[in-house]
Amino acid sequence: MEHNNVHTSELYTLQLPSKLESINQLELLIEEIADKHHVGDDVFANMMTCLNEAVMNAIVHGNQQDESKIVIVNAEVELKRIIWTITDEGEGFDYNSLPDPTAPENLEKLTGRGVFILKQLADQCIFNTRGNEIELHFKI
């Protein structure tokens, strides 16, 4: 029996302590995956931006920089896309009731753009019901 059309996915996992320096490990994984799977420059830049934002939010807002809590990063690389999942141990948040960062009263604010950026740069952005896990899809 031949299986020429069967494509399996590759899985990668990181368990990061909730400290800002953990971003270095994340960036190394993104670079490794991008190199191995010939990810284009634009998609690489979008992944780097989104994943930095999502993991920083998980560390700072989700886990409150409590180093006893971890952030789990999973990457599933398929033939034409990469699905990243970032999960923290925090209480979660209501991602549907965030202020619109493009509203005039919010344009000058220095925070509050993260989720907006994720939705703009990823091909798909899915939160779990609790709001402590996000799935980001990128076509490659």
Q: Considering the entire predicted model, what is its pTM?
A: 0.91
Please state, in angstroms and rounded to a whole number, the distance separating the CA atoms of residues 116 and 39: 23
Please state, in angstroms and rounded to a whole number, the distance separating the CA atoms of residues 138 and 140: 6
pLDDT given at position 137: 98
- Assign 29 to helix, strand or coil: helix
Cα distance from N-terminal residue to C-terminal residue, the chain? 30
pLDDT given at position 64: 97
pLDDT given at position 2: 52
**Using one digit for the tens of pLDDT, what is the confidence trace for 131-140?**
999 999 999 9
pLDDT given at position 8: 84
Q: Identify whether the C-beta of residue 69 lies closer than 8 Å to the C-beta of residue 61.
A: no
pLDDT given at position 25: 98
> Is residue 14 over pLDDT 70?
yes
**Which residues, 6 or more positions from 68, have their beta carbon under 8 angstroms from its beta carbon?**
18
**Using one digit for the tens of pLDDT, what is the confidence trace for 28-85?**
999 999 999 999 999 999 999 999 999 999 999 999 999 999 999 999 999 999 999 9
Give the percent of the chain with pLDDT over 90.
80
Please state, in angstroms and rounded to a whole number, the distance separating the CA atoms of residues 26 and 82: 15
